[in-house]
Amino acid sequence: MSPKSHLSILFPWQEEVEYRPLPETAWHDLGLDVLTEKIAAQPQEVPLIRRVMTSLTPDPRVSAFRADVFEDLLAHPEIRNRLMKLLEQVKTFYDYGVTVRPNDRDDSLWDLLHRLEEYHDYIITVEEIRECLSDASLSSRGLVQLKETVDGIYAENGFAALKKDVEEMRVSASQVKSLTLGVNLNDRFEAVSMGLITVNAKPFSYSGILRHFVSAVNPRDDIHQEADWNGSYSAWPATLGSALSSGLDQLSHTAAVLRNPLLGLTMASVPAADGSANVPRQMDSAASMLVSRLVRKLKATLAKYVNISVKEIADLIPELVFYTRWAEYLSVLNGKGWRFCKPQVLPGEKTATRMDARGFYNLKLIGAEPPERVVPNDLSFDAEKRIYVLTGANRGGKTTVTQAVGQLFLLAQSGIFVPGESFAFDPADQVLTHFPADEDKTLDLGRLGEECRRFKELFSLCSENSLVLLNETFSTTSFEEGYYIAVDSVKALLDRNCRAIYNTHMHKLARDLDQAVNDLSRPGRALSLVSETVNGRHSFRVRIAPPEGKSFARDIAEKYGVTYEALTGH
């Protein structure tokens, strides 16, 4: 992603900061796809939220900047309420962003009307943002800069003039309510060409569409005040799917060529394979001739404001959507007893990337359990603790903890408060996951071959700033084969000096770390982490300790009655 606007509350220092996309598999493995759909109020907001959270930079300034902005918005529900009302008002910005036009283009009626709506939304956005930020006690650099910028725009002499001109032109343009078309037919009654007869100030109705038909054939430089029909001819609605309806449908998209880049939508194109491609342009040309006075006035008025950066303000809308939706979601959860905290970027120079998380939990537990029943955990990475080999019983919370750590980083680097009591960290350049693949993805190479291929790709993306999360990696082959591959993989990750969690059933791997993996001549080490059991029950807590030294298969067998004693009654 390459956000463009220098006025941004999500992407500061754009000339200096680069973002890398999160792999598609990581987003799915961490369970954030379902969560995003809960947060978004509209379907088109899902890719927006995802795009922000999957664009990663290890630059600590960005994470801190975003967290401060989010803290301000979370603390001011009145600002969020006004921003949500603003989104309902600026439909041109919200749905389409700003249309990208070639510099040498001769704007037509349709383009001018869309530009008029862009300016209208620009005015509303400036006024509403200025109003909702004016009395708030703000501390974040992002919102303070936004307030100052919007105040400056509002105070400029040209803003008042723009508002007056736009209001007047919208009144004039609003007279265009319907078009009367003429269609020429060949001997087979096929439409061969189309012309626009009149532009009308009233919507179409069946009350007299052909009155004054003859006089209306000659184009006149005005807008007809009526569009009624006296019943002397039959009126047939256009058939959906025809060239005419296809052309009209394309016309509705030509004004919105490109949506805001955060929404990830592409340029609308007109198909050239059939005659319908010419229909919008024929209508456009005819409409421009018939309302030439309106076109001339629009051009003259809007030409005075070509230097106004409408796009700069329009690009703020998706950024405000991102912060507002998350703040509303967390506000509701706070009211239900769920704990969230502001992420803190660790200061000072470092010899290795770090993390200190206290009382954290997995977002997927929200809704599945009441907050008082969720077991929080603590975990840290530092110069010594680089890799954790996590073992424990089935359904003891190993995958839940592994996912939760990845969620912490993606939330914190987006500026969002994280689930837990405290979270301090060095941002990651990547969050890489290696979870079990879907069955259909292992058909060509087999399960082990597919796991090896994916791990090699993951390793090629990983750096000392990365977070790597492995879930039962190399467990689809025999124990001995998987063990030796796992040893080499952990040693390679340790050489890379990244932060990693390896969730596995291979207790031998966790037990042999000092002999098989760790090089005691360097500080960075792989440690055994255990999802502990207490009196035979899952505690769902993890702690640094040797593996419990037994297979949990016996526990599972006893639970489901598949021991020799249970099966035979002996």
- pLDDT at 17 > cutoff 70: yes
CB 452 within 8 A of CB 444: no
Domain positions in the chain are 21-172+309-320, 178-290, 336-568
Of the candidate ranges 138-142, 148-152, 565-569, the one whose mean pLDDT is the lowest: 565-569
Q: How far apart are the first and last CA of the chain?
A: 65
Band of residue 247 on the pLDDT scale cut at 50, 70, 90: very low
Q: Report the SS3 class of residue 216.
A: helix
Count of all residues that appear for the chain in the document? 570
In this prediction, residues 134-157 reach a mean pLDDT of: 90
In terms of average pLDDT, the best of 141-155, 191-205, 433-447 is 141-155
The torsion defined by the Cα of 58, 324, 35 and 263, in degrees rounded to 10, comes to: -70
448/432 Cα distance (integer angstroms): 19
For residue 426, report the phi and psi dihedrals to the nearest 5 degrees. Answer: -100, 125
Name the band, by pLDDT with cuts 50, 70 and 90, for residue 387.
very high
Helices 77-89 and 109-134 cross at an angle (nearest 10°) of 170
Query: What's residue 7's pLDDT?
Result: 85
Helix axes 157-173, 292-303, angle to 10 degrees: 170
Going by the DSSP 8-state scheme, the letter that residue 11 receives in this structure is S
Please report the DSSP string for 313-330 in residue order.
HHTHHHHHHHHHHHHHHH
pLDDT digits (tens, 9 = 90+) for 151-177: 999 998 789 889 998 888 887 766 667
As given in the structure block, the two tokens for residue 84 are: 């949500």
CA distances from 208 to 194, 305, 442 (A): 21, 41, 67
> What is the reported pLDDT for 23?
93
Q: Percentage of residues in the chain with pLDDT exceeding 70?
A: 74
Average pLDDT over residues 406-423: 98
SS (H, E, C) 30-71: CCHHHHHHHHCCCCCHHHHHHHHHCEECCCHHHHHHHHHHHH
User: How do beta strands 431-434 and 467-471 pair?
Assistant: parallel
Per CATH, the number for 336-568 is 3.40.50.300
pLDDT at 101: 61
How many CB atoms are closer than 10 A to CB 219? 16
66-80, 427-441, 454-468: which range is least confident on average?
427-441
Instruction: Give Cβ neighbours of residue 443 (< 8 Å, ≥ 6 apart).
Output: none
Name the band, by pLDDT with cuts 50, 70 and 90, for residue 343.
very high
Whether the pLDDT of residue 222 is over 60: the answer is no
pLDDT at 6 over 70: yes
Write the CB contacts of 182 (distance below 8 Å, at least 6 apart in sequence). 194, 195, 196, 197, 217
Q: Mean per-residue pLDDT for 178-188?
A: 78
CB atoms closer than 10 angstroms to residue 105: 8
Tokens of 377: 């955990």
User: How far apart, in whole angstroms, are the C-alpha atoms of residue 67 and residue 399?
Assistant: 27
- The per-residue pLDDT for 402 is 96
Cα→Cα distances 556→396, 533, 542, Å: 12, 14, 20
Q: What is the pLDDT of residue 549?
A: 58
Hey, what are 554's tokens?
Answer: 């016996």
Which pLDDT score, from 0 to 100, does residue 245 have?
45
Tell me the Ramachandran region of residue 348: left when phi exceeds 0, alpha when psi lies from -120 to 50, beta otherwise: left
Question: According to the model, what pLDDT value does residue 413 have?
Answer: 98
370-386: pLDDT as tens digits: 999 999 999 999 999 99
For the segment 85-101, the average pLDDT, to the nearest whole number, is 76
DSSP-derived letter for residue 241 is T
Q: In terms of Cα–Cα distance, which of 69, 47, 13 is closest to 414?
A: 69
* Nearest in space to 112 (alpha carbons), one of 303, 381, 307: 303
Q: How many CA atoms lie within 13 A of 357 on its CB side?
A: 27
Q: What are phi and psi of 528, to 5 degrees?
A: -85, 130
Higher pLDDT, 328 or 539: 328
Residue 436's pLDDT is 83
In this predicted structure, the answer to whether residue 274 has a pLDDT above a threshold of 50 is: no
Q: Using only C-alpha atoms, what is the Rg of the chain?
A: 31
Predicted pLDDT of residue 232:
43
Q: Which residues contact 161 (CB under 8 A, 6 or more apart)?
A: 304
If one counts every other C-beta atom within 10 angstroms of the C-beta of residue 569, the result is 6
Give the range among 173-177, 349-353, 419-423, 529-533 with minimum mean pLDDT.
Answer: 173-177
Q: How far is CA 16 from the centre of its chain?
A: 22
- Residue 427: per-residue pLDDT: 97
Section 472-479 average pLDDT: 77
Tell me how far apart the alpha carbons of residues 42 and 50 are, in angstroms, rounded to a whole number.
13
Q: What interhelical angle do 60-75 and 141-155 show, nearest 10?
A: 70
Using N-to-C axis directions, what is the helix angle for 479-496 and 446-461, rounded to 10°?
Answer: 10
pLDDT at position 231, please?
47
Cα–Cα–Cα angle for 109, 112, 116, rounded to 5 degrees: 135
Choice among 120-124, 225-229, 387-391, 393-397 with the minimum mean pLDDT: 225-229
Query: In this structure, what token pair is assigned to residue 453?
Result: 């291929």
